[in-house]
Amino acid sequence: MSTSTSTLTLTNTLTLTNTLTLTNTLTLTLTSTLTLIPPPAPNTPVTGIATPSPIQPGMTSRCQAFYYVRPGDTCAAIAARYSILVGQFIAWNPGARADCASLWANSYACVGVF
């Protein structure tokens, strides 16, 4: 945890020809606290099946079958290979995005859930 404090003091004096003097002092103290929270651990499967590494963030924790994505693979080709719908593949691997533009090569993707 990191804490920083800054103080700003502003003083204004206004004098009018009618011998009226007005002095305002404003003191503003700002304190901010930064707490570093470690990133969440990768999804822990509830299936008892060990999840290989690396995986894309957000992969379902219900995965029981994995595919190692190679450069040039597409979501449609992987889905066809495992007889699943592209929509299922994206639901289980949301990091790939609906258009599959963010599918990571050289990582594991989920191709089956329990």
Which of 47, 6, 51, 3 is CA-nearest to residue 28? 6
pTM for this entry: 0.59
Residue 65: count other Cβ atoms within 10 Å of its Cβ.
14
Per-residue pLDDT of the chain (114 residues; tens, 9 = 90+): 666 666 767 677 766 566 666 677 767 676 767 666 665 555 554 557 889 999 999 999 999 999 999 999 999 999 999 999 999 999 999 999 999 999 999 999 999 998
Q: How far apart are the first and last CA of the chain?
A: 41
Alpha-carbon torsion (85, 86, 92, 98), positive or negative:
negative
Domain ranges of the chain: 2-34
| Cis, bond preceding 38 (omega within 30 deg of 0) | no
d(CA 73, CA 110): 14
Residues 6+ apart with CB under 8 A from 100: 74, 75, 76, 86, 90
